[in-house]
Amino acid sequence: MEKALAIDTRKLTKSYGVSRGITDLDLQVEKGDFFGFIGPNGAGKSTTIRTLLGLIHLSSGSASVLGHDIVTEKEKILSQVGYLPSEIFFYPKMRVKDAIAYSADLRGADCRKRAEELCGRLDLDPMKKVEDLSLGNRKKVGIICAVQHHPDLLILDEPTSGLDPLMQREFFSILMEENNKGSTIFFSSHILSEVQAYCRSAAFIKDGKILLSGKVS
């Protein structure tokens, strides 16, 4: 019996004028998987993720996320997904706790207890203003916003950039806990060792095309 898919793309293509960001992507991620999307910088990882979330419009092909079409059911997808972009932007004058609470409020969720726990685990001061944070600490705020409401699917774009090795280990510990509770994990990386250490499945993308996809062994 085939497993249900969290992500399913069929010849997904996104063009930028005469150049192509991604070409004919066929990508299947099973629900409950811990999936690594690996490739060098500029390979098309971020373009794929943004297209899957409906943040940029596909040029051709089709895709579904959690069974929802990425063109016609974008709102349903965004309500069930926790997303960490590669670059984090928050209003600089906001305090960390307010940025995190605002993200939870957008989803109609009360995540105060979970957010407090995650701030402690990631050594993040919730009273600091965003403008006073390092790049790594801003990344931590984004991680908490993505994870705190226990989404069905976590999509994380280069999540460990800016994190020191100790925080990287704690971050993956949090992801494994979410995965054990039933969340599907999909994260992009250019670091092969991360994918080998934590993922059960992976795909390798280069020049906008998937070259390999399957179980990590």
The mean predicted confidence, pLDDT, of the chain is 93
> What is the count of structural domains for the chain?
1
Structure-token pair, residue 53: 């979330």
Q: DSSP of 87-139, one letter per residue?
A: S----TTSBHHHHHHHHHHHTT---HHHHHHHHHHTT--TTSBGGGS-HHHHH
- Cα separations in angstroms, 160 against 83, 99, 172: 14, 20, 9
Cα 6 from chain centroid?
A: 13
- The domain in which residue 134 lies consists of 5-212
* pLDDT tier, 2 (very low <50, low <70, confident <90, very high otherwise): low
Asked if residue 113 lies in contact with residue 144, where contact means CB atoms within 8 angstroms, the answer is no
Q: Which of helix, strand or coil describes residue 41?
A: coil
- On whether residue 43 sits in a domain, the answer given is yes
* pLDDT tier, 164 (very low <50, low <70, confident <90, very high otherwise): very high
- On whether residue 217 sits in a domain, the answer given is no
Question: What is the CATH number for 159?
Answer: 3.40.50.300
What's the whole-model pTM score?
0.94
